[in-house]
Amino acid sequence: MATVTRTVAEVSESAKRAARELAVASTEAKNAALTRLAELLGERADGVVQANAEDLADERAADLTPALRDRLTLDEPRVAAMADGVRAIAALPDPVGEVLDERTLESGLRMRKVRVPLGVIAVVYEARPNVTVDCAALTLKSGNAIVLRGSSYAARSNAALAQLVREAVAEAGLPEAAVELLTSGDRAELTELATAEGLVDLIIPRGGEGLKEALKSVATVPVMYAAAGNCHVYVHEDADLEMARAVAFNAKVDRPGVCNAAETLLVNAAVAEEFLPAIVGELRDAGVELVGDDRTRSAAGNGAVGEATAEDWDTEYLDMRMTVGVVDSLDDAIDHVNRHGTGHSEAIVTSSEEAAEGFTEGVDAAVVYVNASTRFTDGFEFGMGAEIGNSTQKLHARGPIGLRELTTFKYVVHGDGQIRD
């Protein structure tokens, strides 16, 4: 395990050496490591849950919101879900070596475009210890080494999980240094990682806007932002209102502390008077604090909705709070989403194919849903086994970051002695 006596440079150099070995590792060896990791998660779940309980009891976690404590918490079902994700990744095709294009050029040269690992990936993440396993499993299968820097809130949980990964890797005959964990918690580590050119090939931050801005100001290493999710559900004028209630409720309440939870509900004015009292009541009964515009407050009645500020429309709450607005048209809804959303996940509830097409074409986001909750934006749900995060960028990956998103490519060209005139 990485210790506080090792510098970021030393950890990164170790990972870089391991990355060269891992890049040419067989699919069988990588799958053996993943299979063993899933077994260890089952065999030692008690130890992982105990380490997590100590993190939750630590005074550093005392002031976390209920939603953040939920993100930090591990229990046996969640550990079992991690193991299921690892098995799912093992069962996926190995992306390394996939031929993306193959042709013979006019010169007679035979060219192949082949998928290859990125190298060393650093992941900086906050209070979600399951990320330790998800990220390590994805990088192993895609032939990359990983440097993990988790939150001090989850230090014990992350250490316990990383140790299991390293043990599984070693048993499969792969280099332990393929999975490194930084443990000092020093903020200076972030700057060192972000400027470790030649050692770290990509940084993926999973956290709030503060983490994103901190990296933007210093990073010289390429960064893929697993960014904020200010997600919306829009209820169109022709929506099945029972379906709309179920979708909106699930998108907000299922797990409010995650990036694919909805933060804003938009309702077409034609159905606002009918729809809002019921959904507002359900959300309030579930403990959701609601704020909204004047038309929402009027339609909801009885002071059920507080007054929204300008900042509310742009806020990713990650908590049991939601902003509600009334719009006059589909175009107004699309405009609102594009102005205030973060490009993560957006949903429309409608019975009109024309409205659905207008929304999916008009909204600029990584994932756009028709008649479904935003909560499905997830690598596991998308058949990727797990994810490192959800990218709202357009280069080089967008949406859930899975195996293929952790690779690049190179051209392999064969000739028969050709020279260029």
**Do 75 and 214 reside in the same domain of the chain?**
yes
How confident is the chain (421 residues) per 10-residue block, as mean pLDDT?
Answer: 69 96 97 98 97 92 84 95 95 97 97 98 90 96 96 93 98 97 82 94 86 87 87 98 98 93 98 97 97 96 92 95 98 98 97 98 97 95 88 88 95 96 89
113 in any annotated domain: yes
Instruction: Look at residue 268 and give its three-state secondary structure.
Output: strand
**Do 284 and 367 reside in the same domain of the chain?**
yes
**Do 187 and 271 reside in the same domain of the chain?**
no
Whole-number pLDDT of residue 5: 63
Instruction: Look at residue 38 and give its three-state secondary structure.
Output: helix
**Do 369 and 392 reside in the same domain of the chain?**
no
Domain count, the chain: 2
**Do 218 and 241 reside in the same domain of the chain?**
no
**Do 365 and 393 reside in the same domain of the chain?**
no
382 in any annotated domain: no
**Do 137 and 260 reside in the same domain of the chain?**
no
**Do 194 and 249 reside in the same domain of the chain?**
no
Whole-number pLDDT of residue 387: 87
**Do 181 and 259 reside in the same domain of the chain?**
no
Q: Encode 62-82: b = buried (16+ Cβ within 10 Å), e = exposed.
A: eebeebbbebbbbeeeebebb
Whole-number pLDDT of residue 375: 97
Q: How far is Cα 92 from Cα 112, in angstroms, rounded to an integer?
A: 23
Whole-number pLDDT of residue 61: 84
Task: Tell me the residue range of the domain where 328 lies.
Answer: 231-376
pTM of the model: 0.85
CATH number at residue 343: 3.40.309.10
C-alpha distances out from residue 11 to 6, 216, 230, Å: 7, 22, 35
Task: Report strand pairing: 407-414 vs 110-117.
Answer: antiparallel
296 in any annotated domain: yes
Whole-number pLDDT of residue 354: 98
CATH number at residue 28: 3.40.605.10
DSSP 375: G
Whole-number pLDDT of residue 380: 87
**Do 181 and 253 reside in the same domain of the chain?**
no
